[in-house]
Amino acid sequence: MVKTVLVTGGCGFIGVNFVRLLLANHKDWQVINLDKLTYAGNLQSLAGVENEPGYTFIRGDICDSALVADLFEKYQIDTVVHFAAESHVDRSITGPAEFIQTNIVGTFTLLEAARKQWLREGEGRSDLCRFLHVSTDEVYGSLGKTGYFTEETSYDPRSPYSASKSSSDHLVRAYFHTYGLPVLITNCSNNYGPYQFPEKLIPLVLNNALQGRELPVYGDGGNVRDWLYVRDHCEAIARVIENGTVGQSYNIGGHNEKKNLEVVELLCDMLDVKVGPLKSGESRRSLITFVKDRLGHDRRYAIDAGKIAEELGWTPKFTFETGMEKTVDWYLNNRAWMESVMDGSYRKYYEEMYGS
């Protein structure tokens, strides 16, 4: 079925990879990319797709109700894939207000626009529409040494970021139960791969290690995350859009539990092989520096992705090792992208393309 998809946050890390996937695999779909282009939104990450016949970029804020309503009307949006969010836990601790505004108010604005457009009396469009809200496993809180998050796990957020995402999840469910809005929710584990902003662990470590800088590791480095290659995540989202049951949530995980310290050490070892050790001859592991632990740092996340496997036939294609190999090679082959992000010059790309 031909779809007109509003992708929010399509210039962010996962959004970029998803837009590229849709344009490659669903050429009959129309993709409307709405992004505010905050510090983590990089239009240059979509270089080469600007002139695709099925692609339109709109610079704007999901909290702008007039703009969002106009987009629904103008483009007759029938599918929303909602990535746009403030997502960095450290930033949510030092400045939570932006997280409340974007993650809660922004989600509410989109839900209202979808409700008013899709549920208008007499039109009966809702059966053909889908609102997919992309969320996180962090809403579930922290696990002990055993067990997994399932779709039935109670919410227990521990940071302003996870609390704001929990709130938006509840809003989405409320619009399903109250109004019958055709919603879907996905809760994913930690993503990694190309185009990730270098405040997150893997690109941060890659950049610092290449520069010979310290590699900060929180606490004892024993915090465990389930790592999901971003391509796998994007393919899972596309599967949920097409075949997911309205009103349901689907956990998406990579089956790759790793301690943070293990991830950092693997990156050091891979770079030592691919680009050589430090000038001193030491391994990049010598750059690892343990720092004071993050406030409210959850100890372990692990996803049970059995539901999406059983109902929709999705399982991850990439192991952590194969995904990391592709990720490291991508960053090594795209150092200019990383440098432009680090010095902010990527913003010039937008001005050149669309004006200031």
Q: How many residues belong to the chain?
A: 356
Return the structure tokens found at 293: 């632990």
Contact criterion met (CB below 8 Å) for 265 and 292: no
Q: Up-side HSE of residue 328: CA atoms within 13 Å toward CB? A: 22
Q: Which residue in 55, 140, 161, 250 is the catalytic one?
A: 161
Q: Is 354 a catalytic residue?
A: no
Q: Which residue in 86, 137, 232, 265 is the catalytic one?
A: 137
Q: Is 346 a catalytic residue?
A: no
Cβ burial, residue 300 (10 Å; 0-12/13-18/19+): middle
Q: Which residue in 138, 169, 235, 304 is the catalytic one?
A: 138
Which of 23, 38, 21, 75 shows the shortest CA–CA distance to 350? 38
Q: Could you tell me the CA-to-CA distances from 12 to 47, 87, 97, 121 in Å, in that order?
A: 13, 10, 20, 35
Q: Could you tell me the CA-to-CA distances from 136 to 115, 162, 180, 189, 326 in Å, in that order?
A: 24, 8, 23, 6, 23
Q: Which amino acid is it at 185?
A: I
Q: Is 138 a catalytic residue?
A: yes
Catalytic amino acids?
A: 137-138, 161
